[in-house]
């Protein structure tokens, strides 16, 4: 039995998280430490995206949400932005046959209209081609930030109120959730951040209210399948109380 198989065998199949979100950090530092340019780190990071998607699908995770490009990432040097956009379009096209074979559905979250035409068309093609898939849903956050998303939701809700379609008295937490790009997607159970930083970087701020957080120093290109399963094992050891007491949680389970 390999180390990976051994770790997988330790997982409780009844308590696999439904939704895992990831902040893929550390591509630039990985590249620098190997004497490469930053964009080479992103290219290497695509292999980790491939592995993590396959393993999530094999383990029966229903939603995997990846922070592929943030609103703030538009401020990076033009060369790096161009390469990332090219890579994302190229990777999605290359991966499409395997995504289909694994019944993976692509969903795009973010201000997709800002993505350059060429990459956007490839992304739309993959999204449409996988729309019927019923296995893992791979949410790709592109030109995404949580504050952008919440601002958009507030605008939509304000318009509904101004048009008399919504009484402000009837606004609930569900009204907010239903107007986010993640409407209909359960909140993440687990958020993993690679790259050794302890921050959330404007990612899914509303949705991670009760998510378990896992931080690892591993740089994204080095984030192994073994460590992913380690994060899932760590998640399974935790007691999720959602603001209740430990006794209450034991009685509701
Ligand atoms: C953060 O590393 C990573 C990104 C900004 C981009 C993530 C993109 C990929 C892994 C490739 C394409 C993705 C898909 C979904 C096909 P960083 O550059 O901030 O690293 P650093 O902190 O070491 O500088």
CA–centroid distance, residue 217 to ligand 1 (Å)? 15
Rounded to whole angstroms, the Cα distance separating 238 from 253 reads: 14
Q: How many CA atoms lie within 13 A of 13 on its CB side?
A: 4
Cβ pair 114, 123 in contact under 8 A: no
pLDDT at position 132 is 98
Higher-confidence position of 48 and 246: 48
What is the model's pTM?
Answer: 0.96
What is the pLDDT of the chain when averaged over all its residues? Answer: 96
Q: Is 73 a catalytic residue?
A: yes
pLDDT at position 244 is 86
Rounded to whole angstroms, the Cα distance separating 71 from 201 reads: 10
pLDDT in tens, 176-195: 999 999 999 999 999 999 99
Rounded to whole angstroms, the Cα distance separating 150 from 136 reads: 26
Rounded to whole angstroms, the Cα distance separating 65 from 72 reads: 18
Q: Is 170 a catalytic residue?
A: no
Pairing of strands 105-109, 137-144: parallel
**Percentage, residues of the chain above pLDDT 90:** 94
Asked which of 20-24, 155-159, 233-237, 246-250 is least confident by mean pLDDT, the reply is 246-250
- Concatenating the DSSP letter of every residue in 134-175 gives -S-EEEEEEEE-HHHHHHHHHHHHHHHHHTTSS-GGG--HHH
Q: Which of 73, 82, 111, 187 is catalytic?
A: 73
CA–centroid distance, residue 160 to ligand 1 (Å)? 37
Q: What is the pLDDT averaged over residues 21-27?
A: 98
pLDDT in tens, 85-116: 999 999 999 999 999 999 999 999 999 999 99
Of 45, 52, 198, the one to substitute when testing ligand 1's pocket (max ligand atoms within 8 A of C-beta) is 45
pLDDT in tens, 36-76: 999 999 999 999 999 999 999 999 999 999 999 999 999 99
Cβ pair 115, 84 in contact under 8 A: no
Residue 250 reports pLDDT greater than 90: no
Residue list, ligand 1 pocket, CB within 6 Å: 24-29, 42, 45-46, 49, 66, 68, 73, 87-88, 91, 140, 195, 220
Rounded to whole angstroms, the Cα distance separating 50 from 126 reads: 15
Rounded to whole angstroms, the Cα distance separating 173 from 183 reads: 12
Pairing of strands 190-193, 19-23: parallel
pLDDT at position 251 is 76
Of 28, 47, 141, the one to substitute when testing ligand 1's pocket (max ligand atoms within 8 A of C-beta) is 28
Token pair listed for 205: 């701020």
Q: What is the pLDDT averaged over residues 124-136?
A: 98
CA–centroid distance, residue 219 to ligand 1 (Å)? 10
Nearest ligand 1 atom, CA 43:
11
Nearest ligand 1 atom, CA 41:
18
- Can you tell me whether residue 238 is helix, strand or coil? coil
pLDDT at position 246 is 83
Residue 253 reports pLDDT greater than 80: no
pLDDT in tens, 137-172: 999 999 999 999 999 999 999 999 999 999 999 999
Residue nearest to atom 16 of ligand 1 (CA): 88
């Amino acid at each position: 039995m390999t180390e990976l198989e051994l770790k997988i065998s330790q997982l409780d199949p009844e308590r696999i998280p439904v939704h895992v979100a990831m902040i893929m950090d550390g591509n630039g530092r990985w590249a620098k430490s190997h004497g490469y340019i930053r964009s080479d780190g992103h290219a290497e990071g695509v292999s980790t995206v491939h592995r993590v998607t396959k393993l999530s699908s094999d383990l029966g995770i229903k939603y995997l949400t990846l922070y592929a490009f943030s609103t703030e990432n538009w401020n990076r040097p033009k060369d790096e932005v161009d390469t990332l956009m090219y890579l994302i379009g190229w990777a999605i096209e290359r991966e499409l046959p395997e995504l289909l074979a694994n019944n993976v559905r692509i969903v795009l979250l973010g201000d997709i209209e800002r993505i350059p035409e060429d990459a956007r068309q490839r992304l739309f093609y993959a999204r449409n081609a996988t729309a019927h898939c019923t296995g893992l849903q791979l949410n790709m956050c592109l030109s995404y930030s949580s504050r952008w998303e919440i601002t958009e939701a507030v605008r939509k809700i304000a318009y509904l109120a101004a048009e008399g379609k919504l009484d402000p008295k009837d606004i609930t937490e569900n009204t907010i959730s239903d107007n986010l790009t993640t409407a209909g997607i359960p909140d993440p159970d687990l958020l993993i951040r690679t790259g050794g930083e302890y921050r959330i970087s404007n990612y899914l701020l509303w949705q991670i209210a009760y998510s378990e957080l896992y931080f690892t120093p591993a740089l994204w290109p080095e984030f192994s399948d073994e460590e992913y399963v380690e994060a899932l094992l760590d998640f399974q050891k935790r007691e999720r109380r959602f603001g209740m007491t430990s006794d209450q949680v034991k009685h509701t389970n």
